[in-house]
Amino acid sequence: MIPFSILDLSPIAEGHSVSEALDASRQMAQAAEANGYLRFWLAEHHGMPGIASAATSIVIAHVGAATRTIRIGSGGIMLPNHSPLVIAEQFGTLEALFPGRVDLGLGRAPGTDMRTARALRRNLEAGTESFPHDIIELQRLLGEPAEEHDLLAVPGMRSHVPLWILGSSLYSAHLAAALGLPYAFASHFAPDQLIDAVHIYRERFQPSASLQKPYVIAGVMGAIAEDDETAQHLFTSAQQQFVNLRRNIRRPFPRPMTMEGYWTDMEQITVEHTLRYAIVGSPQTARGKLDDFLSEVGADELIISMPIHDISARLRSVELFAEVRNSIFQAA
């Protein structure tokens, strides 16, 4: 059975507060654990009124304290925004609090607009260029201290928190393969290079002390409800969000609505192309879409983002995805 996991952005739903968004993430993590998901990852974004997970390591601790067995981590930390030492200390602390449960997924995008990125980053240009070197430094800080190095991450050293490379391009596939690290591709919002990236990663993978054979997570967005019409209605929140991003409109995560008249024909084409791997529909419809996606991609694991405004509908989608997963692999 291919593991299913969840990627959460702690959406600040229209009409709700940051506190309510963070509590919803806690409920999501607990539901994921109860329904047999492998991981619950949170994403780093900044300056977005609809996302509450900017202080990602703190939110990871929040959901870690509310769960017992599910793996928790980042999907991901945007490493050029930070000193590797700071991230080693943060995730070393998380590993000390939740032993054997913590993952550190790393990306190189800013996770925000360029103005906010300039306020965050040590050096906007060098931060991206130094990404591979920062990963190696982070590995060292989380591993066994060497005599020739006097820089120590405390907490952090000897924690051996597993690192993941996250990406949406062929660059990330080459890097993950060269470093011998597991790889998560952001096909939930960047589908175009998914197949090529997975092929490159598997073909060029170099075994390492961290990983002996390639391991791929593929991302999808999803909303499952009792029937197709309800699921499609719930998913209009995500469609609005993508339209708003393209219009540079910053607002909380929107309530579902009728999209007719909201987006232009070109916006509809663009958004539907971007979200073409989304698993939206009834359990029967979702099963067919999941079968097709898993067959096409050949991923080792699936991670699902569920951009649903109402927390009760979001929790129900978590349950239904688990039921669909079980039905697929029981039949196989």
- 257 closest CA partner among 239, 270, 273: 239
DSSP string over 198-213: HHHHHHH----SS-SS
State the 10-residue block means of pLDDT for the chain, 332 residues long: 96 98 98 98 95 97 98 95 95 98 92 74 65 95 83 95 96 97 96 97 97 98 98 98 94 97 97 97 98 96 98 98 94 68
Based on the fold, state whether residues 156 and 240 are members of the same structural domain.
no
User: How do residues 164-216 score in pLDDT, each as one tens digit?
Assistant: 999 999 999 999 999 999 999 999 999 999 999 999 999 999 999 999 999 99
Helix (H) or strand (E) holding 185: strand 183-185
pLDDT score, position 128:
59
Q: Which of 161, 192, 207 is the last residue of a domain?
A: 161
16: which DSSP letter? Answer: -
Which of 142, 161, 180 is where one domain is finished?
161
What pLDDT does residue 121 have? 67
Whether residues 130 and 264 fall in one domain: no
List Cα–Cα distances, 69 to 37, 165, 292, 319, in angstroms.
10, 23, 30, 17
Inside any domain, residue 196 = no
**pLDDT at 209 (0 to 100):** 94
Residue 151 lies in a domain: yes
55 with 133, same domain? Answer: yes
Note down the domain range covering 106: 1-161
pLDDT value, residue 105 = 98
CA terminus-to-terminus distance, the chain: 9
- The whole-number pLDDT of residue 149 equals 65
Q: Whole-prediction pTM value?
A: 0.95
Is there a single domain that holds both residue 115 and residue 23? yes
What's the structural domain count of the chain?
A: 2
Task: Write the DSSP symbol of residue 56.
Answer: H
Distance, CA of 143 to CA of 39 (rounded, Å): 23
